[in-house]
Amino acid sequence: MAQKVDKEASVRKFQQIMDNIRARKFAGIYVLAGEEPYYSDVIIDALNSTVLDESQKDFNLSVVYGNETDAGQIVCLCRRYPVASPYQLIIVKEAQQLSSLQPFEYYLKVPAPDTILVLSFTGKNLDKRTGFYKSLKDKAEVLESVPLDEWKVPQWITGHVQELGYSIEPDAAQLLAQSAGVSLRKIALEIDKLIKGTDGTVIRVRDVEINIGVSRDYNPFELCKEIGERNILRAFSIAEVFASNSKKYPIQATLGAMFFYFNQLLTVEAELSAGERDFYSACQKAGVFGTQRVREYQTAARNFPLKKTMGVISQIKDTDLKSKSNYGGNSTDGALLNALLTKIFVL
């Protein structure tokens, strides 16, 4: 049985590898695996831009794919000498498609000192029972990446955008997270698209709506905000817009955003019930950041204390089941959403 990879340890390992690459402290072999390919992408890009100058790449950079070669041929490449460079860089993408890894076991016993080999196993965890994995000990930098927790995605988006020299409104980060899911590779591409299509240095909700193709009229998190503030008429007005175009506003996306919102609120309230006295700290632990969002959740917590929040989540789950099965009868998505709001506001 595959061992569970520690998420925090995985992130620390990624940061350590990146710090060493920036300092030009290269390992001879990098083995990049795991379910989140974004980290492999970043490491490969960093090596590609750091190890060799542009003038050295013609003779010293080899990029091959696992379905187009075999491990024996790759080992032969590794045994070559670099030309007018202290290193040669060999990048193997889709290494999970190699028919055998056994030749690497022999190579790892005496690796070439002037070769940097990168084996990228896209979306695949390593089998720790194999001779290949056991031969990696003390011979390679091994990273097994883990998908980010859903509730941490908006925080990751905010940090990544800041690293690129921009900022993003909390609501915009929430909307992007809801739209793009937990795939950091996809999110990074969407952020790149946003930056290219945004005037100025602040990414706003409107920018996400226009450039990512999310609702240009409303988005699910606006509905959540209105519910949290108990703005009944406003919430039903937004629901009516959603109901008028179920393709543009699919109920599963709306329910997903509502579950995310109230699950965060539940976490905040659980922290407070457990003894946390500072509301801002409770919000941070729940993945809620920014003064504006903290105030929003303070209002929601007053309107939906712990038991009511649990009731809301229960009703969201019930509606989700009805939307995906025959339990909803002939009810339209709009009718299901209206019924859900009614149940929420009478709690």
Angle at 318 between CA 294 and CA 222, to 5 degrees: 35
CA-to-CA separations, 274 to 136, 184, 258, 304, in angstroms, rounded: 44, 32, 24, 17
183 vs 180, which has greater pLDDT? 183
Question: Please, which residues have CB within 8 angstroms of residue 33's CB and are 6 or more apart in sequence?
Answer: 40, 120, 121, 124, 125, 126, 142, 143, 144, 145
Average pLDDT over residues 218-245: 89
The 10s digit of each residue's pLDDT in 11-49 is: 889 999 999 999 999 999 999 999 889 999 999 999 999
Q: What is the pTM of this model?
A: 0.65
Give the chain's domains with CATH numbers.
7-145 (3.40.50.300), 150-212 (1.10.8.60), 220-345 (1.20.272.10)
290 vs 33, which has greater pLDDT? 33
Q: Kindly tell me if the per-residue pLDDT of 177 is higher than 90.
A: no
Whole-number pLDDT of residue 214: 60
103 vs 172, which has greater pLDDT? 103
30 in helix, strand or coil? Answer: strand
Structure token pair of residue 323: 């939307």
Q: Kindly tell me if the per-residue pLDDT of 81 is higher than 80.
A: yes
Measured distance between the N- and C-terminal CA atoms of the chain, rounded to whole angstroms: 45
Q: Kindly tell me if the per-residue pLDDT of 70 is higher than 60.
A: yes
| pLDDT > 90 in the chain, percent | 66
How many CA atoms within 13 Å lie on the side-chain side of 333? 19
pLDDT, averaged across the chain: 90
Whole-number pLDDT of residue 241: 86
- pLDDT-based confidence at residue 1 (cuts at 50, 70, 90): very low
Report how many helices (DSSP H) and strands (DSSP E) the chain contains, helices first. Answer: 17, 7
Maximum average pLDDT range among 26-30, 124-128, 173-177: 26-30
